[in-house]
Chain A
Amino acid sequence: MHRIVALGDERVDRGRRGAAGFSLIEVTIALAVTLAIMATLYMVTRSSALLYEVQSHAIERGLSGLRALDDMALEIARAGLGLGGDVQAVVPALPGAGPTADALTVRSNPEGIVGALQAGLLVHKVREVRFRLTTDAQGAVVLVKDVEGQPRQVLARHVGGLRFEYLDDLGETIAPARVRPGRSLGGVRITLSLLPDPARPPVHVPPLTLVVPLEPQSATVTFDVPRPGFRLRRAFYRMRNAVGVVSRPFSEAGVILAESPAGPNWLYTFPLQRLIRDARIDTVVPLARVRQAAALALAPEEGPWSGSLFVVTGVLRSIQVWRVSPDAFGGISASSEVDLLTETRDMSVLGGAAFGIDGGIYLSDPSAGAIFRYLPGDPDPGRARVEPVAAVPGRPGPLVLGDNGSIYCLAEAPGAEGGGTVLWELAFDPAGAPEPPRRVARLEGAPRSVALDPLTGSLYALLADPLGDTVLLELSRPWLRRPQTPPREAFRLSSWRKEVERTLPEAGDVVIPRNLLPPSLDFVSFDASGALYFGAAKVELVLQAELDRPGGVGLHTLGVAGIVGQEPGLVRKSIRIQAWRKKVFGF
């Protein structure tokens, strides 16, 4: 009855509907709306709680990572402070362990405390800091910082990975095994990956990376009066078909491999001391079973064959690898054992040999156009296990292990290229496996020999130029990266011969009879002290010389370091300067 109302009188109708209560549909709609709002509120609240958990976890992870990275960066930036350049300030290893990429030892002397035991012998108070990964009592991987005399400090927990990469002064990566005393480092790249805490909600933690440049903490002052030029120091006569010269770091003796008058090869050891100017031979080590040696390589000091000399021969289309072990005093002498390690017919000609950073001996075969590898550590000695690892166009010849850990090969260019020499680089991937060879540059002339200057890291390539002369080219590290201009000519045989014939010798100069002046050179070598050697088979000579390097290498050089000290609570600062005689090998 109430529904029958006059048109235009809705006000009356609305008032009555309110008085009659809500209909079922209205209640249902209201209930649905309420439920929807409550569900939304619940979801929002739950999301907020989850977000809170996740984000606080992410913040904790981020902060832990940054703090750890900052702590490591500060310590690395202090490396070498107050120690001087002769102390290895950055060691990619822990005490008693081999080189590794996930641990680091940093040394410094922030207080500048130095004592002098005797003239030239200094004792530093060394602060040693070690960063490494370990497992805590709960089984989590943690990054710890150990400082001698202080309790261990945990920098970060739940670490997924820690990696230290070492950069040289050109920014190139150096393998940890090649970070050694005397090797200049440009910086350390730290990569730290943290994992989420398993007890908290999962979260993505991006890895953190920081490059820390190493600061100059010392300098050198030379007392030498500059005297540029190529200076002959010694001439070893009657060295028949000499193959090369090597010496161990810090050793007082060098070793020449040559043929004996009777045929088998001999090793001649001689004193390296620079004061000795005559060509005396200390010891002769007969290698009775070794004939037609074509290459020699000294095993890396950081490897298992440290101190051993490897001689590679090519006899009757068969390649043999011999090992001459060090004697009880670590040198090569008549008591050194000589063993045949392997013999292979997979190769027919030997072009060159060099150790790789993987501990393998790399051998080039010009006729096969390939580089082979022999791993001396393989079991079952005596069997041939020489495998091809790289194909090189042309005729690959001399090999050398470069300062950056790559093997470099001089190869005769294929005929289609019009002759000349091509320099190839055989780099190694982070796992230590050789990568495909990379063509670096083309050089004029035929390849003779290549050697690494241990003082500058430059390669020196000996080439027979098209006019019959012999030239020595300096392939510096910057040039090897960007070989856009011809390399610097460090020595030209014809020019040197003219100079020797034209000038009168001064007191102390080494004089070579005119009929023994070499018409050509066959090999170039460096000993560990940086002295240069040439071999001239036609006149049976081995020449030792000092090379005029850019910047020079002084014999009388001091290292100097300075420390700023400040007493606690005082503004005034004091400076302490220390000096030490730089080690010059063989001096």
Chain B
Amino acid sequence: VEEEGLRVLNPRERGVALLLVVVALATLLPLALVLSSYVLTRHRQVNLFRENVGGQAVVRGALALSMARLRSGKIAPRPGEAETLAVDEPPSRPVHVTVSRQPDAVLTLDGSVLGPDQVLGLDLQQLGFDGEGRTVHQFRRLEVYLVEAESPDRFPFPAVRLLAVVARLENGQVVCLGLRYDRGY
């Protein structure tokens, strides 16, 4: 008698508590799922935007690094050759960079661009005089490089690529002549 008196539930009501828990979970689960879905969606939105902007910044940084190495001579591909470098900083966004040397371009004082075939036999160091008697160069030679920096895709984020034309001037200055970003190309 004493043992039975200690029971909280009627033996015939066994399973009711479980039923109650199941009902409560069934009620709350959709709400939890909805909330979780919203959190994930917002997270994905913000991440996508950050990755887009971040990817652009990382490949831009790789271009700056390539230009600095060209300036210092650490990268010096010959015409028709290419050098690659891997930028592992930050580790979460590795960037693969290819710097390929293109045929040199020669600029003339009047604004023309001469190709390799047109400069044969020309003295590129030739000086001349302008109408005021000033000494001016007749030609300026540019070493032209194509820099491709790519941050690979990581689902669901698309890859980001930068294509830039970089030139080294005769005074050693390295300048960017134009660049563009591509996403998910």
> In the complex, which residues of chain A have a beta carbon less than 8 angstroms from the beta carbon of B119?
none
* Cβ A59 vs Cβ B45 within 8 A: yes
A441 CB within 8 Å of chain B: no
Q: A556 contacts which chain B residues (CB < 8 A)? A: 109, 130, 136
Q: Is the CB of B179 within 8 A of A573?
A: no
Report whether B177 and A507 are in contact in the complex, using a CB–CB cutoff of 8 Å.
Answer: no
Tier of interface size on chain B: 35 or more
Q: Mark A46-65, 1 if CB is under 8 A from B, else 0.
A: 01100110011011001100
Contact between A562 and B109, CB atoms less than 8 A apart: no
Complex contact B112–A579 (CB within 8 A):
yes
B175 partner residues in chain A, CB cutoff 8 A = 216, 219
Closest B residue to A582 using CB positions: B111
Q: A10-B5, A119-B111 are in contact. Are A78 and B180 (CB under 8 A)?
A: yes
Does any Cβ of B come within 8 Å of A137's Cβ?
no
A261 interface residue (CB < 8 Å to B):
no
Whether the pair B136, A225 counts as a contact (CB closer than 8 A) is: yes
Give the distance in Å from the alpha carbon of A69 to the alpha carbon of B50 in the complex: 12
Name the interface residues of A494-530: CB closer than 8 Å to any CB of B: 507-508
- CA of A55 to CA of B40, assembled, Å: 12
Chain A residues contacting B5 (CB-CB under 8 Å) are 10-11
With CB as the reference atom, state the residue of chain B lying closest to A220. Answer: B175
Q: Which residue of A lies closest to B140 (CB)?
A: A221
- Contact A10-B110, Cβ < 8 Å, known A52-B34, A59-B41: no
Interface 0/1 of A568-581, CB less than 8 Å to B: 00000101011111
How far does the Cβ of A8 sit from chain B's closest Cβ, in whole Å?
7
Chain A contributes a number of interface residues (CB within 8 A of B) equal to 61
**Is B181 touching A562 in the complex (CB atoms < 8 A)?**
no
Near B by CB (< 8 A), chain A positions 39-96 give: 41, 44-45, 47-48, 51-52, 55-56, 58-59, 62-63, 66, 69-70, 73-74, 77-78, 81-82
**Is B137's CB within 8 Å of the partner chain A?**
yes
Q: Interface digits, B17-59 against A, CB 8 Å rule (1 contact, 0 not)?
A: 0000000000110110011001001100110110011001000
Contacts A66-B45, A575-B165; A120 near B110 (Cβ below 8 A): yes
Expressed in whole angstroms, the minimum distance between the Cβ of A395 and any Cβ of chain B is 43
- From B38, B53, B111, give the contact of A55 (CB < 8 A): B38
Q: Which B130-146 residues sit within 8 Å CB-CB of chain A?
A: 130-138, 140, 142, 144, 146
A562 touches B178 (CB 8 A): yes
Asked if A344 is at the interface of the complex by the 8 Å CB criterion, the answer is no
Q: Quick one: closest B residue to A219, CB to CB?
A: B175
B132 touches A225 (CB 8 A): no
Contact B109 A59 (CB under 8 A): no
Residues B176 and A215 in contact, CB atoms below 8 Å apart: yes
Quick one: given A564-B163, A577-B105, A577-B113, are A62 and B45 in contact (CB under 8 Å)? yes
Cross-chain contact B165 with A51 (CB below 8 angstroms): no
Q: Specify which chain A residues have a CB less than 8 angstroms from the CB of B113 in the assembled complex.
A: 577-579
For window 1-55 of chain A, which residues contact chain B by CB distance below 8 Å?
Answer: 8-11, 41, 44-45, 47-48, 51-52, 55
Query: Given the complex of chains A and B, what is the CA–CA distance between A508 and B134 in angstroms?
Result: 10
Report chain B residues within 8 Å CB of A74. Answer: 181, 183
Q: Which residues of A contact B60 (CB under 8 A)?
A: 215
Q: Which of A55, A119, A210, A221 has the most CB of B within 10 A?
A: A221
Contact pick for A120, options B30, B111, B130, CB 8 Å: B111
- A48 CB to closest chain B CB (Å) equals 5
Flag if B1 contacts A51 (CB, 8 Å).
no
Q: Is A348 in contact with chain B by the CB < 8 A criterion?
A: no
B175 → chain A closest CB, angstroms: 4
Residues of B within 8 A of A48 (CB): 30-31, 34
Within 8 A of A (CB), among B104-125: 105, 107, 109-113
A51 to B38, CA, bound (A): 10
Q: Is the CB of A561 within 8 A of B134?
A: no
B66 → chain A closest CB, angstroms: 14
A77 and B111 in contact (CB under 8 A), knowing A59-B38, A62-B42? no
Chain B residues within an 8 Å CB radius of A274:
132
- Cβ-based interface call for A141 (8 A): no
B127: interface (CB < 8 Å)? yes
Q: Which residues of A contact B1 (CB under 8 A)?
A: 8-11
Please pick, from A77, A78, A562, the residue contacting B177 in the complex, using a CB distance under 8 A: A562
Q: Is the CB of A51 within 8 A of B111?
A: no
Complex interface: chain A residues within 8 A of B56 (CB): 77
Nearest-CB residue, chain B, relative to A47: B31
A44–B27 alpha-carbon span in the complex (Å): 8
| B122: min CB distance to chain A, Å | 15
Contacts of B165 in A (CB 8 A): 562-564, 575, 577
| Chain A residue at smallest Cβ distance from B102 | A575
A564 CA / B161 CA spacing, docked (Å): 12
A263-305 CB mask vs B (1 if < 8 Å, else 0) is 0000000000011010000000000000000000000000000
| A575 to B142 CA separation, bound complex (whole angstroms) | 13
7 CB < 8 A contacts A-B:
A44-B31, A210-B53, A218-B177, A219-B175, A555-B130, A575-B146, A577-B177
Residues of A within 8 A of B (CB): 8-11, 41, 44-45, 47-48, 51-52, 55-56, 58-59, 62-63, 66, 69-70, 73-74, 77-78, 81-82, 110, 119-120, 210, 215-219, 221, 223-225, 227, 274-275, 277, 507-508, 555-556, 558, 560-564, 566, 573, 575, 577-581
Top 4 nearest A-B pairs by Cβ distance?
A562-B165, A562-B177, A219-B175, A564-B163
Beyond A55-B34, A66-B49, A577-B105, list 18 extra A-B contacts (CB 8 Å).
A51-B31, A51-B35, A51-B38, A59-B45, A77-B56, A82-B178, A119-B111, A215-B176, A217-B179, A219-B167, A221-B140, A225-B134, A556-B109, A558-B140, A564-B164, A564-B165, A580-B111, A581-B110
Which B residues contact A (CB, under 8 angstroms)? 1, 4-5, 27-28, 30-31, 34-35, 38, 41-42, 45-46, 48-49, 52-53, 56, 60, 102, 105, 107, 109-113, 127, 130-138, 140, 142, 144, 146, 148, 163-165, 167, 169, 175-181, 183
